[in-house]
Amino acid sequence: MRIVFAGTPEFAAAALAALIDAAPAHGFEIPLVLSQPDRPAGRGMKLVASPVKQLAAAHGLRVATPSTLNLKKGGAEAAAAHTLLRSVDADVLVVAAYGLILPQEVLDIPRGLASPAGPIRAINIHASLLPRWRGAAPVARAIEAGDTETGITLMQMDAGLDTGPMLAAERLPIASDDTTATLTAKLAALGARMIVDALVRGARGELRPRPQPAEGVTYARKLDKREAWLDWNESAQRLACRVRAFDPFPVACSALRGQVIRFWRAHAQSATEPGAAAPPRQARPGTVLAANADGVRIACGDGVLVVTELQRAGGKRLAAREFLAGMPIAAGEVFVKAEPAP
């Protein structure tokens, strides 16, 4: 089976690694890997290849990094990418967090795996239980919403936004301390295992596409830096979910004494936990109730948020004890939501 793989971040690299490892046993060939172009990163803003490109290059796989596959927008560059895709004579296109829109002309290029519903030409590894959380940021939005489970859906791709028929799905519980970073790693491992199994079954004509349910559709819009600013009028439970959802990006934050403070770890205070501080009846949301080694306790619109890992601008992530040693915070001080300057 000849497989073209398209992906960019670590989530996708896990799937590519699984396909490379499984290739000898299952007769997989990967004649081409697509990834997004190198991006500037780090303090020096030097161009850095994506995790998928780095992995592919380490295994001697051919890599192409077009900036678009849209023929109208990309002109000669996109046309050359289409020609390259046709030349490798692929059976199937496997996509995982690629980050570029794939026009129907591209989805129609592979020969396809046989199925009762017709050839399956392109398979997407999507990090949610479709139709919940279609779109760009399904892991973060699931945590932000307080979902207790998510999963991986393998989907036959069409021109819509994650609307194609489902080929396989597996559930995964969301732990109470999962962040987008930790949950993405778990889902990457699950997706990597599932795609190998699906391709093996696809080679035998055993994949059975089924339509997504019409009910339960939600959309996971792309994360925006402006969302990082916490609104203390919201409940502590809601804010705790946001802190977890925004790790590693855009990282939840608030302002104190004119400084931006980032929150990396927090939870909604329970009435029975040691050091629990009950907010005064008229406490302004954002008011610090207590600050010690156990955490910084902040009054919210409903409940108390306990922040246990913080970071000052230009500083390191620190546990509350270490953070407070360098920047003491007193009860009665107030964190405020501050929008970034335009």
Task: Count Cβ atoms within 10 A of the Cβ of residue 187 and give its class: 0-12 exposed, 13-18 middle, 19 or more buried.
Answer: buried
For the stretch 59-88, pLDDT in tens is 999 999 999 999 989 999 999 999 999 999
Two structure tokens written together for 317: 């992530």
Which neighbouring-strand residues pair with 275?
Answer: none
- DSSP collapsed to 3 states, 49-76: CCHHHHHHHHCCCCEECCCCCCHHHHHH
pLDDT cut 90: percent of the chain above it: 89
CB of 134 closer than 8 Å to CB of 219: yes
Q: For residue 77, what are the CA distances in angstroms to 30, 61, 72, 99, 291?
A: 22, 20, 10, 17, 56
Give the model's confidence band at 279: pLDDT under 50 very low, under 70 low, under 90 confident, else very high: confident
Mean pLDDT of all residues in 84-95: 98
Split at pLDDT 50, 70, 90, the class of 315 is very high
Average pLDDT over the chain, rounded to whole?
Answer: 95
Domains of the chain: 2-220 (3.40.50.170), 225-326 (3.10.25.10)
Which is nearest to 31 in space by CA: 119, 90, 81?
Answer: 90
Tens digits of per-residue pLDDT, 203-235? 999 999 999 999 999 999 999 999 999 999 999
Q: How many residues does the chain have?
A: 342
Contact yes or no for 328/321 (Cβ under 8 A)? no
* Helix residue ranges, H only, the chain: 10-26, 51-58, 71-87, 104-107, 138-144, 180-203, 236-245, 320-326
Dist. CA 225–CA 228, nearest whole Å: 6
> How far does the chain reach from its first CA to its final CA, in angstroms?
51
Q: How confident is the model at residue 148 (pLDDT cuts 50, 70, 90)?
A: very high
The pTM for the full model equals 0.94
- Residue 176: is its pLDDT beyond 80? yes
Whether residue 237 is predicted with pLDDT greater than 80 in this model: the reply is yes
Contact residues for 320 (Cβ-Cβ < 8 A; gap 6+) = 291, 292, 293, 294, 295, 296, 307, 308, 309, 310
What pLDDT does 240 receive?
98
Residue that the structure tokens 């929150």 belong to? 263
How much is the pLDDT for 278?
74
Closest by alpha carbon to 57, among 21, 16, 18, 98? 16
CA distance readout (Å), 167 to 40, 116, 216: 36, 12, 18
**% of the chain beyond a pLDDT of 70:** 99
HSE on the CB side for 90, CA within 13 Å?
Answer: 27
Handedness of CA 173, 198, 27, 65 (dihedral sign): negative
Give the pLDDT confidence score for residue 181 in this predicted structure. Answer: 98
Q: Which amino acid is it at 237?
A: Q
Per-residue pLDDT reduced to its tens digit, 103-140: 999 999 999 999 998 999 999 999 999 999 999 999 99
Per-residue model confidence (pLDDT) at position 62 = 98
Task: Provide the 3-class DSSP secondary structure of residue 23.
Answer: helix
Mean pLDDT, rounded, for 149-158: 97
Question: pLDDT tier at 275 (50, 70, 90 boundaries)?
Answer: confident
Amino acid of residue 47 = L
Angle between helices 10-26 and 180-203 (to 10 degrees): 30
List the 122-126 sheet strands across, edge first.
63-64, 29-34, 2-7, 92-96, 122-126, 149-156, 166-173
Could you tell me the pLDDT band of residue 342, with boundaries at 50, 70 and 90?
very low
Higher pLDDT, 274 or 306: 306
Q: Is the pLDDT of residue 340 over 60?
A: no
pLDDT at 330: 97
DSSP 298: E
Higher pLDDT, 338 or 84: 84
Q: How confident is the model at residue 281 (pLDDT cuts 50, 70, 90)?
A: confident
Are 226 and 251 in contact, with CB atoms under 8 Å apart? Answer: no
Q: What is the pLDDT of residue 36?
A: 97
| 314 vs 168, residue with greater confidence | 168
